[in-house]
Amino acid sequence: MSAPVYILGGCQTDFARNWLKEGKDIVTMLQEAVSGGLTATGIEAHEVEVAHVGNFAAELYCKQGHLGGFLAEIDPAFSGIPTSRHEAACASGSVAMMMAAAEIEAGRYDLALIVGVEQMKTVDPATGGDFLGTAAWYEKEAKGVEFPFPKLFGRLGDEYEKRFGLKEEHLARIAEINFSNARRNPQAQTRGWFTDETQNLSSGKYANPVAGRLRVRDCSQVTDGATSLLLASDTFARQYAARRGLTVEQLPRILGWGHRTAPMKFDTKMAESKNSPYILPHTRQAIVDTFRRAALPDVWSVQGIETHDCFTTSEYMAIDHFGLTKPGESWKVIEEGVIEFGGKLPINASGGLIGCGHPVGATGTRQALDAFKQVTGQAGEYQIEGTKKIATLNIGGSGTTTVAMVIGV
């Protein structure tokens, strides 16, 4: 990193909420995430110098664009600060963080507010599935297709089966772990869905097929939610640390990051990677870039991972792409219990996109906030003991845009 970028904290809305049913809109959601983030960090609105919004498709779900324009409506203290909205499908939140960090690294600003946001429960499931199709090549991969994304990530599973072999039990175990973890997270969407950890996952509605090899339990949720973050330069972080009776070294930073984009079409991706050891080589490269920038030798240098698990197949992919196993051998660490809460390298202690929820534009910022909570010992019931560093992996489209980070002290 050319200049350090600190994470001072933030706020996640309760992902179990349905904002339309509460009579609230995306502007209210922005407002609650922002005011919650200011409260959590003890920062005053007038200290914020710039704001970035991560959002996938409020135009479709909420008939509203130009979300950056709402900051000054939320709080007059924001009037005049520069704002913008950033989008890379399900990686929109991370891309917003990347842009905020770039402006801090460039020396433009010392304190940035980032909000990832998505209100999705405004439409029926079929319409929502169709809207999500615009994260793929809509005309070629989604138009007229029922639930295009489960199909695409089912095909990711098919590709694993073809190249390395893949057993359904390992995907089911990924789902089980995420749902189980979510029960410890007081802001997870599914925290109250099961009376015991495994109920209904292997039979009943959660085992019903959705598309291709994927069942209901393999899919992340349709979620309303927002997550705010405050990012700071070294100058602001030092003042802030002093205010809180801390040293700047105690504040978490973005220690490394990777950002790569593959071709849009899943077919193009698979054709391109056919001779690569990795099914999504650009996702692998983003992870390699991240650890190189963080000057860390490998994934075992972090104490936990918050990964994209829009489907169980994407987490299965993340496991070998992070280097927990050789390519195609993700099943080994699943069987060994490595990725479970309490395991050697827990994945998605939060519950991930399957258990915690997946408000598309807020997922990257939610991952970063959970990383912040873990490395500052504020994750409560889902705290991983002795955590200094957490890796995140946020993916847009069918493996198209990847942003990875290592956050820690």
Q: What is the CB-side half-sphere exposure of residue 234 using CA atoms within 13 A?
A: 8
Dist. CA 54–CA 100, nearest whole Å: 11
Helix (H, G, I), strand (E, B) or coil at 43: coil
Work out which of 22, 44, 46, 79 binds its own copies, going by CB under 8 A: 79
- Taking CB under 8 A as the binding criterion, the range among 70-78, 167-175, 182-190, 372-380 that sits at the site for its own copies is 70-78
List, in sequence order, every residue forming a beta bridge with 407; answer none if it has no partner.
254, 390
List, in sequence order, every residue forming a beta bridge with 117; answer none if it has no partner.
226
Work out which of 15, 137, 240, 331 binds its own copies, going by CB under 8 A: 137
Phi and psi at residue 30, in whole multiples of 5°?
Answer: -60, -45
The verdict on 208 binding its own copies (CB under 8 A) reads no
Closer residue to its own copies (CB): 108 or 292:
108
Closer residue to its own copies (CB): 185 or 228:
228
Structure tokens at 323: 């280097």
| Own/partner pairs, 277-281, CB within 8 angstroms, 24+ separation | 277/327, 278/320, 278/321, 278/327, 279/156, 279/159, 279/160, 279/163, 279/317, 279/327, 280/317, 280/321, 280/399, 280/402
- CA 18 centroid distance within chain: 20
Q: By CB neighbour count within 10 A (0-12 exposed, 13-18 middle, 19+ buried), where does 245 fall?
A: exposed
Work out which of 14, 24, 45, 138 binds its own copies, going by CB under 8 A: 138
Q: How many CB atoms lie within 10 A of CB 53?
A: 28
Minimal distance, residue 403 CB to its own copies, in Å: 8
The verdict on 212 binding its own copies (CB under 8 A) reads no
- Contact of 161 with 170, CB cutoff 8 Å: no
CB within 8 Å of 38: residues ≥ 6 apart: 44, 45, 230
Work out which of 18, 22, 65, 165 binds its own copies, going by CB under 8 A: 65
- Taking CB under 8 A as the binding criterion, the range among 8-16, 32-40, 56-64, 377-385 that sits at the site for its own copies is 56-64
Closer residue to its own copies (CB): 154 or 397:
397
* C-alpha torsion angle, residues 163, 166, 171, 174 (rounded to 10): -70
Closer residue to its own copies (CB): 145 or 338:
145
Q: Footprint of its own copies on residues 80-109 (CB under 8 A)?
A: 80-89, 95, 98-99, 101-103, 105-108
The verdict on 397 binding its own copies (CB under 8 A) reads yes
The verdict on 119 binding its own copies (CB under 8 A) reads no
Nearest CA to 151 out of 55, 218, 93, 103 is that of: 218
Work out which of 251, 264, 296, 317 binds its own copies, going by CB under 8 A: 264
Residue type, 386: G
Minimal distance, residue 14 CB to its own copies, in Å: 23
The verdict on 28 binding its own copies (CB under 8 A) reads no
Closer residue to its own copies (CB): 85 or 170:
85
Binding mask of the shown chain, residues 265 to 304, with x at each position contacting its own copies by CB under 8 A: x--x---x--------xx--x-------------------
The verdict on 318 binding its own copies (CB under 8 A) reads no
Closer residue to its own copies (CB): 305 or 403:
403
The verdict on 401 binding its own copies (CB under 8 A) reads yes
Residues that bind its own copies (CB under 8 A): 2-3, 25, 27, 51, 56-57, 59-60, 63-66, 68-73, 76, 78-89, 95, 98-99, 101-103, 105-108, 134-139, 143, 259-265, 268, 272, 281-282, 285, 396-397, 400-401
